[in-house]
Amino acid sequence: MTPKAWLARQRREVVGPLRLAALCGTIEGGLIIAQAGFIAWLIQQVIMNERPLADFMLPALGLIGVVALRPVFASLRSAAGISAAATVRATVRRRLIHHVESLGPAGLADVSSGELSSQLTDQVDALDGYFARYVPQMTIAVIVPLSIAVAAYSQDWIAASFLLLSAPLIPLFMALVGMGAERLNRDQFLALGRLSGQFLDRVRGLTTLRLFGRTQDAADGIVSGSDEYRQRSMRVLRVAFLSSAVLEFFASVAIAVVAIYIGFGLLGYIEYGPSPQLTLFSGLFILLLAPEFFQPLRTLAQHYHDRATALGAAELLNELESRPTAEEGFGTGTLLEGENFGTGTLQISGLRVDRVGRGTVLYAESFNVDAGERVLIEGPSGTGKTSLLLAIAGLLPPASGEIDRRFPDPRIGWLGSPPFLANASIRANIRFGNPEADDPMILEAARQAGVMEFTERLEQGLDTVVGERGLSLSGGQAQRVALARALVSPAPMILLDEPTNALDATTEAYVLQAINALASEGRAIVISSHDAALRTVADRRYRISEQRLEMIADE
């Protein structure tokens, strides 16, 4: 889908507010014509016909009413445009967040967190000006100048022709400027995304950078990225100011030509066409309308930068939205009604898993796990163990084959290494595994995972806030919290990715006990690891060798 088609798709969702904004702007343009007519007629009557001011009470009240109504319709137009833009932003952001959730970590492996956050915030916000101002102004810029031209033609066709002949110059230069502005805006968003990701990565790795004495190098890299973003922003601003200057120049020249023609016509120096019939009313009426004729076009030109910005953002947002989700190739699944732990099975046949930049990383002819069974997948690092778990979890779409899950609950438990902990209390991090878990369930899971051993020494116990990614906990303590989360989970299948990696003997023992406890509840356990200690709890073992998954015979 092209960026223009993507924007058109969003525009169809807010047709009503956009039409209301265009209607209010058109009515405002009609009031401008009425205002110019009232002013020109009053001056004609007072100066040329020498009528007393007392005779113009009703026309004066009409002029005051027209002047008072203009800001009212301007406000309504602005409010309708802002409402449409807010609706589009909320809809797009909600849809993108849902799509990102569907992509999962595998689908976003080549996108940094900073770049992703920039897309969901800055690039979505960049759509605001396009829908709030540019789209309604496109309609206004056609109807209002044509209406003014018709009004001017009713008085003098030569002056109106000057206006119409100069009008196409503005859209022409808008198109010429827009050819480069879209690319510049896209490059600017890419630079901002890279800078966001770079800054976030440096903040996350600040401790490591300080340990290795590389903080200055990191700071220099951020300064370099900031300077690149500054240069790209200045290029965008140069194009915007240059286009505005060119358009203002041509509009001013056209207005000056009309003013010269009317001035010489009123003085009697021009005898051609309708010039001899020019009056103070008709001349002043056209002069008052001339700036207003170009104003919608100049406003459209000013907002043309919003269009270029939106097109640049739309291209990147469309790329994100076009990424295939894991659900598109997940396979089949069946819920077993009325069943609980102790029933269900996972069956895989002819599975091929591909990764971006690596091609095929794994092929599994046959693989199955039954409820209550503990299956270990072995193999050196980089052989595809994690990729298989991601495919089973539905986070990585298989290139071919079938994954058939038949369990009483569609949820899947996951314990990775290192585990993810949110900036919340230990109790809340455990409850993430089961939002409906009560305190006794959380306490029991914390006891089984060995969490209570170190939380008893904390002043706030389980209510201690651990910081982003478990910053205040050691690696073993964070693994215990994640293990408690898996124990409290209602998922009938638990996937463990290197659960004993870099753990002390005590924490490793808790992991092995938890695996046995989960299996005793009737849950299917799939473990990927090259740790020989896990062989003691495995019912069956598989090995990945030369990109193929094969079962290991009993030794």
The SS3 of residue 259 is helix
| Nearest Cα residue to 387 out of 412, 352, 420 | 352
For the record, the structure tokens of 267 come out as: 């003085």
Same domain assignment for residues 51 and 99: yes
Q: Looking at residue 338, what is its pLDDT? A: 47
| Nearest Cα residue to 156 out of 274, 267, 33 | 274
Same domain assignment for residues 316 and 406: no
The burial of 86, by beta-carbon neighbours within 10 Å (0-12 exposed, 13-18 middle, 19 or more buried), is given as middle
pLDDT digits (tens, 9 = 90+) for 365-415: 999 999 999 999 998 888 888 889 888 888 888 888 888 888 888 888 888
Q: Which domain holds residue 363?
A: 345-551
pLDDT digits (tens, 9 = 90+) for 142-170: 899 999 999 988 888 888 888 888 877 76
Pairing of β 345-355 and β 332-335: unpaired
Same domain assignment for residues 314 and 451: no
pLDDT digits (tens, 9 = 90+) for 498-554: 888 878 888 888 889 989 989 998 999 999 988 888 988 999 999 998 889 998 876
pLDDT digits (tens, 9 = 90+) for 356-373: 777 888 899 999 999 999
In this structure, is residue 364 part of a structural domain?
yes
Same domain assignment for residues 92 and 130: yes
Instruction: Tell me how far apart the alpha carbons of residues 268 and 276 are, in angstroms, rounded to a whole number.
Output: 7
Question: What domain count does the chain have?
Answer: 2
Angle at 67 between CA 65 and CA 68, to 5 degrees: 65
Residue 73: band (very low, low, confident or very high) from pLDDT cuts 50, 70, 90: very high
In this structure, is residue 263 part of a structural domain?
no
Same domain assignment for residues 322 and 349: no
Last residue of a domain, one of 326, 360, 382: 326
Kindly state the helix (H) or strand (E) to which residue 400 belongs, with its residue range.
strand 400-407
In this structure, is residue 466 part of a structural domain?
yes
Same domain assignment for residues 318 and 411: no
Instruction: Tell me how far apart the alpha carbons of residues 418 and 475 are, in angstroms, rounded to a whole number.
Output: 8
For residue 323, pLDDT over 80 is answered with no
As a whole number of Å, the end-to-end CA separation of the chain is 55
Same domain assignment for residues 397 and 317: no
In this structure, is residue 393 part of a structural domain?
yes
Residues in contact with 162: Cβ distance below 8 Å, sequence separation at least 6, in sequence order = 254, 257, 258, 261
Residue 211: band (very low, low, confident or very high) from pLDDT cuts 50, 70, 90: confident
For residue 473, pLDDT over 50 is answered with yes
Higher pLDDT, 184 or 282: 282
Which amino acid appears at position 201 of this protein? D
Instruction: Tell me how far apart the alpha carbons of residues 341 and 522 are, in angstroms, rounded to a whole number.
Output: 5
The answer to whether the peptide bond before residue 418 is cis (omega within 30 degrees of 0) is yes
In this structure, is residue 188 part of a structural domain?
no
| Nearest Cα residue to 131 out of 171, 175, 172, 80 | 80
Same domain assignment for residues 349 and 455: yes
Which amino acid appears at position 416 of this protein? G
Same domain assignment for residues 321 and 382: no
In this structure, is residue 159 part of a structural domain?
no
| Nearest Cα residue to 304 out of 251, 342, 249, 247 | 247
Q: Looking at residue 329, what is its pLDDT? A: 44
Last residue of a domain, one of 326, 356, 375: 326
For residue 2, pLDDT over 70 is answered with yes
How crowded is residue 175: how many other Cβ atoms within 10 Å of its Cβ?
Answer: 10
Same domain assignment for residues 390 and 505: yes
Please give the C-alpha separations between residue 150 and each of 136, 164, 288, in angstroms, as whole numbers.
22, 10, 14
Q: Looking at residue 114, what is its pLDDT? A: 67
The burial of 464, by beta-carbon neighbours within 10 Å (0-12 exposed, 13-18 middle, 19 or more buried), is given as middle
Which amino acid appears at position 536 of this protein? T
Which amino acid appears at position 520 of this protein? S
| Nearest Cα residue to 392 out of 528, 486, 261 | 528
- Crossing angle of the two packed helices 15-43 and 280-321, in degrees rounded to 10: 160
Length of the chain: 555
Q: Which residues pair with 370 in a beta bridge?
A: 345
For residue 218, pLDDT over 80 is answered with yes
Higher pLDDT, 305 or 144: 144
| Nearest Cα residue to 472 out of 515, 517, 423 | 423
Q: Which residues of 262-274 are buried (b: 16+ CB within 10 A; e: fewer)?
A: beebbeeebeeee
Same domain assignment for residues 319 and 414: no
Tell me the percentage of the chain whose pLDDT exceeds 70: 90
For the record, the structure tokens of 430 come out as: 């455990």
**Residue 126 backbone dihedrals phi, psi, to 5 degrees:** -65, -15
Same domain assignment for residues 355 and 476: yes
pTM (2 d.p.) = 0.66
For the segment 426-436, the average pLDDT, to the nearest whole number, is 91
The burial of 536, by beta-carbon neighbours within 10 Å (0-12 exposed, 13-18 middle, 19 or more buried), is given as exposed
| Nearest Cα residue to 148 out of 292, 257, 39 | 292
Pairing of β 540-545 and β 400-407: unpaired
In this structure, is residue 542 part of a structural domain?
yes
Mean pLDDT of the chain: 83
Task: Name the residue with tokens 């938890």.
Answer: 514
In this structure, is residue 184 part of a structural domain?
no
Last residue of a domain, one of 326, 354, 371: 326
Q: Looking at residue 112, what is its pLDDT? A: 67
Instruction: Tell me how far apart the alpha carbons of residues 156 and 277 are, in angstroms, rounded to a whole number.
Output: 9
Q: Are 316 and 124 in contact (CB under 8 A)?
A: no
Which amino acid appears at position 341 of this protein? F
Tell me how far the alpha carbon of residue 387 is from its chain's centroid: 27
Longest dimension (CA), the chain: 117
Q: Which residues of 412-450 are buried (b: 16+ CB within 10 A; e: fewer)?
A: bbbbbbebebeebbbbbbbbbbbeebeeebbbebbebbb
For residue 328, pLDDT over 50 is answered with no
How crowded is residue 25: how many other Cβ atoms within 10 Å of its Cβ?
Answer: 25
Domain of 542, CATH number, reads 3.40.50.300
For the record, the structure tokens of 176 come out as: 């010429």
For the record, the structure tokens of 266 come out as: 């009123």
